[in-house]
Amino acid sequence: MPDRLHVLLDQNVPRAVRDWLRAQRPGWTVVHTSDVGLTGKKDPEVFAWAQSAGAVVVSFDEDFADRRSFPAGRHHGVVRLRVWPTTIEETQSALARLLAEVSEDEIPGSLVIIGRHRIRVRRSP
């Protein structure tokens, strides 16, 4: 497990969530795509940046949950948010459940899907 978890919030995640997550996990490095010049970039570019930075991608985008394109164990981790509406409050609530229910060492390399009622963690085969 890395000394510090690195997290990249995709452009569809409200920017205010960055500050909230930093406050919840001060030991993590949390950045938003807008912080690192990725605004308007396509998923492959966002994913490539995350891999080069060793970061877990947090996104509402279902493409990141495609195991054919982004197989678990071949990336630093993906957290796919499946909650609606995609407001700051709903996003924070979903991530708060992640922080309470999933240990930090389970996230790197895994595909984590946060739904309204449950969290699934898919590790590499």
Give the domain ranges of the chain.
6-122
The pair of three-digit structure tokens given for residue 6, joined into one six-digit string? 């690195």
* % of the chain surpassing 70 pLDDT: 95
Instruction: Please state, rounded to an integer, the average pLDDT across all residues of the chain.
Output: 92
Q: For residue range 60-84, what is the model confidence (pLDDT) as tens digits? A: 999 988 877 777 678 899 999 999 9
Residue with tokens 């060492």: 105
Residue 2 above 50 pLDDT?
A: no
Per residue, what are the HEC states of the chain? Answer: CCCCCEEEECCCCCCHHHHHHHHHCCCCEEEEHHHCCCCCCCHHHHHHHHHHHCEEEEECCHHHHCCCCCCCCCCCCEEEECCCCCCHHHHHHHHHHHHHHCCHHHCCCCEEEECCCCEEEECCC
Q: Is the pTM of this model over 0.75?
A: yes
Q: What is the pLDDT of residue 6?
A: 98
Residue 86 above 60 pLDDT?
A: yes
Angstrom distance (rounded) from CA 116 to CA 28: 25
Angstrom distance (rounded) from CA 69 to CA 74: 10
Residue 58: φ, ψ to 5°: -115, 120
Q: What is the pLDDT of residue 1?
A: 41
Q: For residue range 14-40, what is the model confidence (pLDDT) as tens digits? A: 999 999 999 999 999 999 999 999 999
If you average pLDDT over residues 100-112, what whole number do you get? Answer: 94
If you average pLDDT over residues 41-58, what whole number do you get? Answer: 95
